[in-house]
Amino acid sequence: MADGSAGPVTGGGIGTLLIRGGTVVSPRGMARANVFVKGGKIVSLTTLSPEADLVIEAEGLLVLPGVVDPHVHFRQPGMNSEDWVSGSRAAIAGGVTTVLDMPNTSPPTTTLDRLLEKFRIVESSSPCVNYGFHFGATASNLGELVAVGISTATPIPPPPGQLAASVKIFMGSSTGDLLLTDLGAIRGFANSAKMISVHAEDESVIRAHESAPDHASRRPKRAALTAIRKLLSVGKEGRVYVCHVTSYEEAALASPFYREATPHHLFLTSDMMRRIGAYAKVNPPLREEADRASLWRALLEGKIDVIGSDHAPHTREAKESDSPPSGVPGVETSLPLMVDASLRGMIRLEEIVRLMSHSPARIFRVRGKGSIEPGRDADIVLVDPREERRVDPDALHYKCGWTPYEGMVLKGWPVATVLGGSLAYMRGEFYPVRGSAVTYAA
């Protein structure tokens, strides 16, 4: 599949690359083209075959923009179920070239100093994925937004510029201790931040159901609907991103806002709790089959804007404890799940590119990402639509060592990933390519 005497191009995209003979997929359609890359940027989509230091023969392969996953938990600092070596490898093997990491770490990312420390931690890990961060909201840190560069009061942030993709608000308790329930405080962030990302489950509803017999009953769909109704009274259209909606009702109610769905809510149901127990415990919970089917209906009707993995791993020891935390790993399987669904006729490939690459880059204003076109960063994934594999946790790259999709047979897996014009991954082998911090458009 690879040719060229120079071997894999390394060093942050230095050199030239030709991806030859593949089918390039965009939100607008599919067309066979050669993709020529120089200096880490896409130069042209052409029928010609210019000379290049590295040629990747892509006959029969789908050529997609690298996935921009705006919702991952790589658990650093302070937690041991993932890190930026294992997490970035899992991402790049799954065709994910950019991740935006959540703030509920230990300590949480709620001050400028902690955010800068997070940059240092990630940079020292030399991750093979591009990265950015969300900033955590508390009852007392609204004043940090200017320093973090995400305040609407300063359209052009002072140096070092915008350091966070959004401010994350937890309206319901989840992993970590970030929680903001006061509607006045939430309104303050909605008015002051360029973008807020919201875990929309209402804490008062959760507490009213805390004696219910199971996790799904303790966090009913009413908790999500109540939280979204509250958001409607304070949120600004175009500046609110609702994470992990689980049903058509939620997606329709949140229509003024950006809406995210996760693969686990699209492909799994609450029956998984009966099959694998706390390994299927997530917030919001997996719903019944009727809700899962309704979420697909919302997706196909254009009521979902983004698919984010909500990659949230925990160790086996934690999941098997008396108080198991919520969250499942998913960054490496999100694209294979969606491509398999496309190959089964459930959704168009063009829509997958829109939902997983183009829209998240546009919504969070991530420069240079999300599409294959001249001038964009050469973050590209090659998918073999003929490759069929059974999901095996031992073949994945998560530090936690398990997956809720174990045993599923999926067709259409990433076989090569290019990061900034350099070959980062090919058929199980990683190359010494380093990701970089994303930048944001004004």
- Residues whose CB falls within 8 Å of the CB of residue 382, separated by 6 or more in sequence, listed in order: 19, 22, 56, 58, 61, 62, 63, 64, 414, 415, 416, 417, 418
Give the tens place of pLDDT for each residue, 132-141. 999 999 999 9
Same domain for 6 and 132, yes or no, is no
**Cis-peptide, bond into residue 160, ω within 30° of zero:** yes
Clarify whether residues 127 and 268 are in a common domain.
yes
Within the chain, which residues score under 70 in pLDDT? Answer: 1-14
What does the alpha-carbon distance between residue 400 and residue 297 come to, in Å, rounded to a whole number? 32
- My answer on whether 273 and 177 are in the same domain is yes
Position 213 scores a pLDDT of 93
Question: What residue numbers bound the domain in which 207 lies?
Answer: 65-363
What is the per-residue pLDDT for 14? 56
Smallest Cα–Cα separation from 425: which of 436, 435, 414? 414
What angle do helix axes 84-93 and 112-125 make, rounded to 10 degrees?
A: 70
The whole-model pTM stands at 0.96
Q: 71 and 59, same structural domain?
A: no
Same domain, 248 and 336: yes
Q: How many domains does the chain have?
A: 2
What residue has token string 């359609």? 29
Which residue in 106, 110, 66, 104 sits closest to 88, CA to CA? Answer: 66
Contacts of 409 (CB under 8 A, 6+ apart): 388, 389, 390, 391
Q: Which of 332, 330, 348, 336 is nearest to 388 (CA)?
A: 336
pLDDT at 12: 37
d(CA 247, CA 251): 6
Closest CA to 165 of 185, 150, 186, 144: 150
Please provide the average confidence, as pLDDT, over all residues in the chain.
Answer: 95
With respect to residue 237, please indicate whether it lies within any of the assigned structural domains. Answer: yes
Q: Is 146 among the domain residues?
A: yes
User: Is 305 assigned a catalytic role?
Assistant: no
Which is the catalytic residue, given 83, 101, 291, 310? 310
Report pLDDT digits (tens) over 197-220.
999 999 999 999 999 999 999 999
Could you report the per-residue pLDDT of 264-319, keeping only the tens digit for each? 999 999 999 999 999 999 999 999 999 999 999 999 999 999 999 999 999 999 99
Closest alpha carbon to 440 in 242, 185, 160: 160
Q: Is residue 436 part of a domain?
A: no
